[in-house]
Amino acid sequence: MVAPLRVGIAGLGTVGAEVVRLLDQQKRALSVRSGRGIRVVAVSARSKAKKRGVDLSGIEWAKNALAIANDPRVDVLVELMGGAGDPALSAIEAALKNGKSVVTANKALIAKYGSRLAALAEKHGGALNYEAAVGAAIPVIKTLREGLAGTDIHRVYGILNGTCNYILTRMEREGLSFAECLKDAQRLGYAEANPSFDVDGHDTAQKLAILASLAFGTKVNQSAVYVEGISSIAPEDLRAADELGYRVKLLGVAVRTETGIEQRVHPTMVPRSSSIAQVMDVTNAVTIDGDGIPPITLVGPGAGGAATASAVVADIADIARSVRALPFGRPVAKLKPTSKAPMRRHEGGYYIRLMARDLAGTAATIATRLAEQKISIESIVQRHPDGMIESIKAGGKSSPVPVILITYATTEDAVRRALQAVQQDRVITGRPQVIRIEKN
């Protein structure tokens, strides 16, 4: 008989408690699938008295995560405390140095210290599994690292934050403002009291940095990701996108270019016919483009206790089966450094919304400035607000007219130069709205 795998869990919040429940509920099935039993032998949490809805009898309470990491009776440390530093970092490092395996859902820690922790796992022979760190129940880590190990990947992109996807979905369906939808997301528990980490794109950036490393063999480097959030998106942008055959999503995109690996997070227009455009509400999705295969899109719940716990338990089961994979699919020594790609070099189509002054020659001026930068226009839409003609007849001053442009592929630098010139010409009011377009 093979001895059971002894697991210690640091952190008994929603995910940690659900992991304990799943391991107990599925213990027979897991034993059959893994060829050995899996038993929780130690836990740690801030409060021992807190009711968690799971049976913890017979499980030892450790003083802290570090005590679990140093306990010779524990084979695997499951870190579910969160945070990009200590105590999670110290506990994981100690466990790996002791030759233990580690399972974590901590995207912040992997995004910041992933290469360092992977090197420890390689050196001391333990596994470092982190499927739950990106996309929760969506098996994107295993897909990139193992399922597509023989595929040359060109691009990986996705909806990696349910809060932002929920807000954009509500804005589109109901014509509400960003502020109204954010307030509702907070009421429903989809957004934190301080939502900036989500809506400003930083949560997506951490996840994208991890996916880029797996896809392209680079060192995890969150600082190499260009980041924009969704707070500037207005209902009129979503209406225009719909009319033009697009939908707006906050995407994380990592793509191989002639100048290196481009990693970016920003609101993006995607064709309504694309798989990723169909992903609504809090659901997440990742699309992978590789050599010789059609695009693969993985869709599922990207957060939540049950979804995250299912990925954690799957990682534990891999260790029980003695399945070992290099954390980033390659030896750490082979991972290449990466830096932030200048967005001015980015090439693609653009949606541009301008508030044009109702003056003679305005359209010609805008067209001239775009032509000077060799920007070709695929379509142009000009809207006259209701009542404008009557206002003019009555002698009132006319309001600026929304003008929407869709460009053919061009460079970010060209777009910025053209719009700067248009602003200097004083033929528009306010700041131009610019949204990048991501083709299939």
Report the distance separating Cα 316 and Cα 261, nearest Å. 32
Q: Which helix (H) or strand (E) holds 130?
A: none
As a three-state string, the secondary structure of 206-253 is HHHHHHHHHHHCECCCHHHCEECCCCCCCHHHHHHHHHCCEEEEEEEE
Residues 213 and 145: beta-carbon distance below 8 Å: no
Catalytic residue, from 100, 107, 142, 207: name it. 207
Residues 227 and 200: beta-carbon distance below 8 Å: yes
Give the length of the chain: 440
Peptide bond just before 87 cis, omega within 30 deg: yes
Residue 371 main-chain phi, psi, to 5 deg = -65, -35
Pairing of strands 76-79, 5-10: parallel
The dihedral sign for the CA sequence 203, 247, 419, 432: negative
Report the distance separating Cα 381 and Cα 364, nearest Å. 15
Q: Is 336 a catalytic residue?
A: no
Minimal CA–CA distance to 113: which of 141, 99, 133? 133
Report the distance separating Cα 354 and Cα 382, nearest Å. 10
Q: Residue 307: CB partners within 8 Å, gap ≥ 6?
A: 136, 137, 300, 301
Residues 197 and 82: beta-carbon distance below 8 Å: no
Burial class (CB in 10 A: 0-12, 13-18, 19+), 370: buried
Report the distance separating Cα 321 and Cα 73, nearest Å. 19
Q: Residue 219: CB partners within 8 Å, gap ≥ 6?
A: 114, 115, 213, 335, 336, 337, 338
Report the distance separating Cα 86 and Cα 5, nearest Å. 26
Alpha-carbon 302 to chain mean position: 9
CB atoms within 10 A of CB 196: 13
Joined together, the tokens standing for residue 142 give 């295993």
User: How many Å is the maximal CA-CA distance in the chain?
Assistant: 93
- Residues annotated as catalytic (active site), given as ranges: 207
